[in-house]
Amino acid sequence: MLATPDFERILRDADLYVTRPRLAVLAAVHEQPHADTESIFGAVRVELPAVSRQAVYDVLNALTAAQLVRRIEPAGSAARYEARVGDNHHHVVCRNCGAIADVDCAVGDVPCLTAADDHGFVIDEAEVVYWGRCPDCRATLEQQRPN
Ligand SMILES: [Zn+2]
Ligand SMILES: [Zn+2]
């Protein structure tokens, strides 16, 4: 298992002041990949009961701007946050329950950034979302199917 990341250091390395809300939000995003704002707020409240929802939003925006966390917004879903940044990985989303899992780039090392025709743009992100049904939802549907 990986040791707990040094969140103070991560903040300092990104030129962000170390504050308790920032530490708590960063820890929550590391602990619950693809959590939505409400879940992160809930986790932070456990540690810092006085923190406001707005403060958590502000911290998430600051951490996203500093590229310490990545915001993903599957169609029809609330924004989710994750600490796995910088590798342009993709996501598979369950149409039924909204479960999200990471999917590495389809063919090796960020090739999805090499567009067939870039139209002169400098491309730094390719967003691919795979949609389907997660194993739990498939199992439930199988059970409901009449024989
Ligand atoms: Zn599901
Ligand atoms: Zn992810």
Contact 83, 30 (CB under 8 A): yes
pTM for this model (two decimals): 0.81
pLDDT of residue 110: 56
Residue 104's pLDDT band, with cuts at 50, 70 and 90, is confident
Which ligand approaches the C-alpha of residue 134 most closely?
A: 1
Mean pLDDT of 33-62: 96
Contact 37, 60 (CB under 8 A): yes
Per-residue model confidence as pLDDT tens digits over 40-52: 999 999 999 999 9
Residue 116 has pLDDT above 80, yes or no: no
Q: 3-class SS at 116?
A: coil
Give 42 Cα–ligand 1 centroid separation in angstroms. 22
Q: Exposure pattern of 84-106 as b/e (b: 16+ CB <10 Å)?
A: eeeebbbbbbbeeebebeeeebe
What are the tokens at 109? 């090392």
Mean per-residue pLDDT of the chain? 88
Give 12 Cα–ligand 1 centroid separation in angstroms. 38
Give 132 Cα–ligand 1 centroid separation in angstroms. 8
pLDDT of residue 82: 95
Residue 77's pLDDT band, with cuts at 50, 70 and 90, is confident
Residue 67 has pLDDT above 80, yes or no: yes
